[in-house]
Amino acid sequence: MRRYFKLGVLGVLGFLGLLVSCNKQTAVIERPSFCADSAYAYIEKQMAFGPRVPNSASHMQCAVWLIEQLRACGAEVELQKGFMPDYRGNNQQIYNIIGHFYTAETASRPRVLLGAHYDTRPWCDEEQDYQDRFYNVPGANDGASGVGVLLEVARQLGIRMQDTTAGFQPVDIIFFDCEDMGTPRVYTGEEREDTWCLGSQLWATNYSNQQSAVRYKFGIVLDMVGAPDAVFPREMYSTNYAANYQQQIWRSAEQLGYGALFSSQQSYPITDDHYYINYLAGIPTVDIIHYDMRNATGFPFWWHTRQDNMDNVSKSTLQAVGEVVLSQL
């Protein structure tokens, strides 16, 4: 993902949110069941495959494993295949993995969409040394962390589906492919914003064109959600397209005791998978993403470098994000 600088009218409206103060909620809500140890183990497993660069052996092995994990949690699994043009204009193979969680009684109800990308960037193009820019990004936080949290969410959903005495919110979990294939800095041709988030562009376009029978209440995308020093401000596209849901999520975070982590500060708009779900599919979707306004890029020092390893994953951060997501279901 990368920062998007073209604010336009929506951007101006988003910045107006800085002038509006929200009443703090002090109520305590029921704490959902979530196991950070489990989420952490899912991240370690992804890292054991190696960098999940699209169409590499490790990428395909990880995809097969993700399908197996979703099925083990009780999901009906769909593999969406297609092609999208990359930064050179060549067709890039896409494999989106979708887990449908519903019961017979809730199959027709509107669902909540949860998403994260499972691919890793082929280039460490934020490295200072030019030669280091041609290594693959390991992707512990930028990729594996969001997937790890959602796999543990999937495990909890599988448990919930077995409880016939409780109501069940149907959920679709989507692991998007080719999110991090955007134009590399080592490329001398034209840089295009739409070369990022290829998997979500494919999914959102198909969803819009096919008039799917599945309907969604809202969506949440997770990206870089495991760092010990993480901070999750209110990302601007989320504010513009899904303000009510963003406020609901951040209020829940505060009620769960994670108000310092889920900052009330408004960030710049970020081109991430949620943007295309909002813009192309028309599903109000919120991005939970590490973005620190104090940094020059907004992203952590290890972003798109060889340093994106397990040192950048904290169980306490995973616990917070997992509980907040589950509180919305």
pLDDT band for 213, please (50, 70, 90 cuts): confident
Summarize the chain as % helix, strand, coil (round to 5): 40, 15, 45
Percent of the chain with pLDDT over 90: 84
Q: Which residues pair with 216 in a beta bridge?
A: 111
pLDDT band for 2, please (50, 70, 90 cuts): low
Give me the pLDDT at residue 12, please. 44
Contacting residues for 109 by C-beta, under 8 A, at least 6 apart: 102, 169, 170
Q: How far apart are CA 148 and CA 58, in angstroms?
A: 17
Q: How far apart are CA 33 and CA 97, in angstroms?
A: 25
Contacting residues for 30 by C-beta, under 8 A, at least 6 apart: 327
Give me the pLDDT at residue 172, please. 98
What are the start-end ranges of the E strands in 170-215?
171-176
Q: Is the pLDDT of residue 4 over 80?
A: no
Q: Is the pLDDT of residue 139 over 70?
A: yes
Rg (CA), the chain: 18
pLDDT band for 1, please (50, 70, 90 cuts): low
Domain extents in the chain: 2-326
Mean pLDDT of 142-163: 97
Give me the pLDDT at residue 254, please. 98
Q: Which of 27-31, 119-123, 208-212 has the highest mean predicted lDDT (pLDDT)?
A: 119-123
pLDDT tens for each residue of 172-183: 999 999 999 999
Give me the pLDDT at residue 297, please. 84
pLDDT tens for each residue of 232-261: 999 999 999 999 999 999 999 999 999 999
CA proximity to 271, closest of 175, 189, 186, 201: 201
State the chain's mean pLDDT as an integer.
92
- CATH architecture under which domain 2-326 falls: 3-Layer(aba) Sandwich (3.40)
Give the pair of three-digit tokens for residue 163: 């409880």
